[in-house]
Amino acid sequence: MVVDDHPMWREGVARDLAEAGYLVVATSGEGRQAVRIAPAARPDVVVLDLRLPDISGVEVIRGLRTELPQVRVLMLSASGEQQSVLDAVKAGATGYLVKSAGPAEFLDAVRRTAAGDAVFTPGLAGLVLGEYRRLAHEPEPPGAGDLPRLTERETEVLRLVAKGMSYKQIAARLGLSHRTVQNHVQNTLGKLHLHNRVELTRYAIEQGLDD
């Protein structure tokens, strides 16, 4: 689903996606409408503009995640401001790409977002990880440090996720198939009651697994 208030941009993105073989199940120029139609359209990935005429993209993310907890959101914004990026990620965005990105970079970001990777415009990934590390040093509520029972392999995969490695890189490092790595990540998400790789990365850093 493509959500952007500029018709030419929205239609252009939808056309590029369709030509690349993706099924565009819906488009919208307003945030509230996007949240309203998402449950029926059931998109796997939402390409979302940060600034919309009615509500902010951050509010849209929260609404989408309430309706469709497993949905993956790729922010596509003209703004690369640090606070905008952090607000979007904290709300549940899977990735963040500035609109100056080229078509090939955009389509690669959509593909990786659909696969569960955390995708960021170059220079922003370090900012997001830095913020997670800062949050990891804030006091935790009682019981927050209690670790669910992960297998040795799940912990190994989680450690590599925390280092920012893609599923393909993890598979090569551990001698596993891409599908097996995805299965380990999905099992870990379920055990930790998390929704996407961004939340998983934060969790791993909080546990010191990126050292």
What is the dihedral sign for C-alpha 169, 174, 177, 182? Answer: negative
- Break the chain into its structural domains and give their ranges: 2-132, 142-206
**Tokens 């488009």, located at residue:** 27
Judge if 2-132 and 142-206 fold alike in CATH terms.
Answer: no
pLDDT of residue 146: 47
Distance CA 142, CA 102 (A): 46
Report field, pTM of the whole predicted structure over 0.85? no
Bridge partners (DSSP) of residue 95 are 74, 119
**Measured in Å, how far apart are the chain's first and last C-alpha atoms?**
37
Look up the CATH number of domain 142-206.
Answer: 1.10.10.10
pLDDT surpassing 50 at residue 140:
no
pLDDT of residue 129: 56
Quickly count: other Cβ atoms within 10 Å of residue 64's Cβ.
26
Distance CA 97, CA 25 (A): 21
Distance CA 172, CA 29 (A): 41
Consecutive H or E run containing 89:
helix 82-91
Q: Give tens-digit pLDDT for 49-67.
A: 888 888 888 899 989 888 8
SS3 84: helix
**Tokens 């799940």, located at residue:** 154
pLDDT of residue 183: 84
Look up the CATH number of domain 2-132.
Answer: 3.40.50.2300
Consecutive H or E run containing 3:
strand 2-3
Q: Give tens-digit pLDDT for 152-173.
A: 888 888 888 877 788 888 999 9
What CA–CA distances, in Å, run from 131 to 22, 42, 71, 161, 192? 33, 31, 23, 16, 21
pLDDT tier, 143 (very low <50, low <70, confident <90, very high otherwise): very low
Bridge partners (DSSP) of residue 3 are 28, 48
How far does Cα 128 stand from its chain's mean position?
A: 12
Secondary structure, 3-state, 52-101: CCCCCHHHHHHHHHHHCCCCEEEEEECCCCHHHHHHHHHHCCCEEEECCC
pLDDT tier, 127 (very low <50, low <70, confident <90, very high otherwise): low
DSSP conformational letter for 24 = -
pLDDT tier, 14 (very low <50, low <70, confident <90, very high otherwise): very high
